């Protein structure tokens, strides 16, 4: 289908009233007793609502969607970081997303220690961000593994560069795709 060029900026992984409530439960620093399985299912549930309420209707209207974080995040954080396994996480997410598949995924490649410093410079960070640095290193390695598994779907962006340079890389990565969609 020819897509029109309206960009729909969507929040992650909330983006709807219900998804935001689920996200608050996941990231609440007080929920220290949450099991890894519960965490994985809640991310999938939040994503299911997002797909149902926002993504599918927007796709039907021919809109181009930019979404921060999608299934790959769960594959690496819950599948690898939490040790549940990529296959199980893929299974529950396949059920959640009803066949929706991104045309392209941008992976902002940066040393996990630098990323964590950036993200926690203003506050102490959410329940996931407060995990030990080794967890974040595993997640980072997980993203590299996922990139090897799906080389054509994922484009690497060097996020160690300044914001202007990062923006230029993003434009270069998505421009061919936008041209394809408009032709």
Ligand X SMILES: Cc1cn([C@H]2C[C@H](O)[C@@H](COP(=O)(O)O)O2)c(=O)[nH]c1=O
Q: 106-145 mask for ligand ATP (x: CB under 6 A)?
A: ------------xx--------------------------
Distance CA 55, CA 16 (A): 11
Question: Which region, judged by CB under 6 A, interacts with ligand ATP, from 52-60, 84-92, 147-155, 158-166?
Answer: 158-166
Q: SS3 for 109?
A: strand
Which of 78, 44, 149, 135 is closest to 107 using CA atoms? 149
Using the rule CB under 6 A, which residue among 8, 18, 128, 174 binds ligand X?
128
Nearest-angstrom CA–CA distance, 101 and 166:
24
Please state, as a whole number, how many other Cβ atoms lie within 10 Å of the Cβ of residue 84. Answer: 19
d(CA 180, CA 183): 5
Residue closer to ligand ATP, measured from CB, 119 or 172: 119
Looking at 59-67, 72-80, 157-165, 171-179, which segment touches ligand X (CB under 6 A)? 72-80
- Min dist CB 160 to ligand ATP, Å, is 7
Q: Which residues contact 99 (CB under 8 A, 6 or more apart)?
A: none
Tokens describing residue 4: 């029109």
Shortest gap between Cβ of 166 and ligand ATP (angstroms)?
Answer: 5
Minimum CB distance to ligand X smaller for 64 or for 79: 79
* Per-residue contact string for residues 62-101; x = within reach of ligand ATP by CB under 6 A: ----------------------------------------
Contact between residue 65 and residue 116 where contact means Cβ atoms under 8 Å apart: no
Regarding 11 and contact with ligand X (CB under 6 A), the answer is no
């Amino acid at each position: 289908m020819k897509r029109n060029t309206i960009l729909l900026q969507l929040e992650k992984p909330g983006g709807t009233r219900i998804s935001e409530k689920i996200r608050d439960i996941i990231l609440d620093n007080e929920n220290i007793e949450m099991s890894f399985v519960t965490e994985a299912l809640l991310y999938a549930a939040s994503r299911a609502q997002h797909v149902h309420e926002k993504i599918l209707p927007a796709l039907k209207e021919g809109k181009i969607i930019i979404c921060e974080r999608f299934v790959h995040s769960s594959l690496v954080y819950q599948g690898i970081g939490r040790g549940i396994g990529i296959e199980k996480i893929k299974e529950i997410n396949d059920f959640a997303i009803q066949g929706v598949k991104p045309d392209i995924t941008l992976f902002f490649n940066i040393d996990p220690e630098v990323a964590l410093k950036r993200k926690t410079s203003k506050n102490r960070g959410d329940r996931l961000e407060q995990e030990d640095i080794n967890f974040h290193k595993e997640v980072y390695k997980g993203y590299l593994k996922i990139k090897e598994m799906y080389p054509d779907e994922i484009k690497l962006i060097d996020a160690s560069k300044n914001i202007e340079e990062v923006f230029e890389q993003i434009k270069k990565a998505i421009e061919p795709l936008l041209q394809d969609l408009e032709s």
